[in-house]
């Protein structure tokens, strides 16, 4: 199983990149985890946010392969405890499909991306800045792995 994150936003503050990289380096090497950061769609007073979201959606969908299991990080998605996420991770590994997670831009994911997703996951009911969501995602992915392997990082 290989795992990747496709995220809109190719420029993040240094603290985001540093924290993201810290947890990404802890993930199992066999996952070949990688981040595919994409530039966001243009937003201006002459171009509405909906057009930018649709353009971002087309770019994201062009990167997804048919056989991948896609998880959209979305505020209206299902919330999981860390232990529940660890169990999901076990299920995904058993299924042996590559996983792709999606994080949209400032206005969310395109409807087409949500329709393509096999699962929508909400990190929190709180509104999170994009960079913080990225860091929280990778930390929870690491935590889920530690839960599923019995590593002492997660203390229930």
Is the CB of residue 73 less than 8 Å from the CB of residue 122?
yes
Alpha carbon separation from 2 to 34, 89, 146, 148, 152 (Å, rounded): 9, 12, 17, 16, 24
pLDDT, average across residues 3-18:
92
Residues 21-65: tens digit of each pLDDT? 999 999 999 999 999 998 887 766 667 788 888 989 999 999 999
Q: E strands, 34-87, where? A: 34-38, 69-78
Structural domains of the chain sorted by starting position, each given as residue range(s) with its CATH number in brackets: 3-149 (3.40.1280.10)
Give pLDDT, residue 6.
96
Is the CB of residue 13 less than 8 Å from the CB of residue 127?
no
pLDDT band at 156 (very low <50, low <70, confident <90, very high): low
pTM: 0.91
Residues 99-145: tens digit of each pLDDT? 999 999 888 899 999 999 999 999 998 888 889 999 999 999 999 99
């Amino acid at each position: 199983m290989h795992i990747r994150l496709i995220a809109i936003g190719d420029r993040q503050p240094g603290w985001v990149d540093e924290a993201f990289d810290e947890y990404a380096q802890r993930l199992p090497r066999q996952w070949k985890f990688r981040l595919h950061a994409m530039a966001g769609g243009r937003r201006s007073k002459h171009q509405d946010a909906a057009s930018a979201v649709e353009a971002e959606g087309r770019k994201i969908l062009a990167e997804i392969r048919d056989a991948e299991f896609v998880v959209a990080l979305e505020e209206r998605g299902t919330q999981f405890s860390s232990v529940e996420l660890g169990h999901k991770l076990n299920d995904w590994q058993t299924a042996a499909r590559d996983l792709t997670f999606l994080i949209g831009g400032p206005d969310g994911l395109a409807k087409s991306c949500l329709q393509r997703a096999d699962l929508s996951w909400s990190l929190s009911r709180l509104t999170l800045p994009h960079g913080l969501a990225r860091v929280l995602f990778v930390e929870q992915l690491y935590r889920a792995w530690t839960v599923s392997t019995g590593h002492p990082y997660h203390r229930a």
